Amino acid sequence: MNNPGSIVYIVDDDEAVRDSLRWLLEANGYQVVAFDSAEKFLEGYNPNVVSVLIADVRMPGMSGLELQETLVARKATIPVVFITGHGDVPMAVSTMKKGAVDFLEKPFNEADLREIIARMLEQAINNASEQQARKNHEELIGRLTAREQQVLERIVAGRLNKQIADDLNISIKTVEAHRANIMEKLEVTTVADLMKVALVK
């Protein structure tokens, strides 16, 4: 599946590999941006665009593995696939644990490449929608006052209005007023919907 506006980044110090990958991917309708080093990729990478990264494992300067570690440290959610002529199981296992989606061994098969990129783009789209949902959730919760957040925590915990009033040393009427404000600010009309919004991770 090719998502319009998405980018496939290629990072490889080997010009022939970069060119062949670019040609294969562009022939399949992908927008491709290629870099000859991990450092240049980090300068040009746009985390706000749905994208996938194909990186060579071994490069002068920052390696593909170090690049992935840098992205993990930055909390970047871009799916990574490594291309390598030196694929070995321990390295594959350790990188998979850090979030790399797949490995492609040189010389790579065009059908394998297409299948992996389609799958990774799907993952990138899912990552982007999850991030957006979290952002929307944070913005909604951010509308609440500190007291309203305390009331919300107790509603989520299943406390009754009277119990919440006792917990916070306020009147039941005040709890009811806070509940009404919370429902309005979080744009929900039922407690079930309120729980859905409050429990987004």
Domain boundary among 107, 131, 155: 131
Q: Give the total number of structural domains in the chain.
A: 2
Q: Are residues 149 and 126 in the same domain?
A: no
pTM beyond 0.75, yes or no? no
Reported as a single tens digit per residue, the pLDDT across 40-59 is: 999 999 888 889 999 988 88
Q: Are residues 126 and 192 in the same domain?
A: no
pLDDT band at 92 (very low <50, low <70, confident <90, very high): low
> What φ, ψ does residue 31 adopt, rounded to 5°?
-85, 125
Q: Are residues 26 and 110 in the same domain?
A: yes
What pLDDT shows up at residue 112? 85
Q: Are residues 70 and 121 in the same domain?
A: yes
What pLDDT shows up at residue 107? 78
What pLDDT shows up at residue 8? 94
Q: Are residues 117 and 146 in the same domain?
A: no
pLDDT band at 165 (very low <50, low <70, confident <90, very high): very high
Residue 188 in any domain: the answer is yes
Identify the CATH number of the domain in which residue 89 sits: 3.40.50.2300
Residue 164 in any domain: the answer is yes
Give CA torsion, residues 54, 57, 62, 65, to 10 deg. Answer: 90
Q: Which of 104, 101, 122 is nearest to 12 (CA)?
A: 104
pLDDT band at 22 (very low <50, low <70, confident <90, very high): very high
Domain boundary among 76, 110, 131: 131
Instruction: Please determine, for residue 194, whether its predicted confidence score (pLDDT) is greater than 50.
Output: yes
Domain boundary among 84, 104, 131: 131
Q: Are residues 14 and 105 in the same domain?
A: yes
What pLDDT shows up at residue 192? 87
Instruction: Please determine, for residue 84, whether its predicted confidence score (pLDDT) is greater than 80.
Output: no
Q: Are residues 109 and 21 in the same domain?
A: yes
Structure tokens at 104: 């492609």
Query: Do residues 139 and 149 touch, judged by C-beta distance below 8 A?
Result: no
Q: Are residues 123 and 79 in the same domain?
A: yes
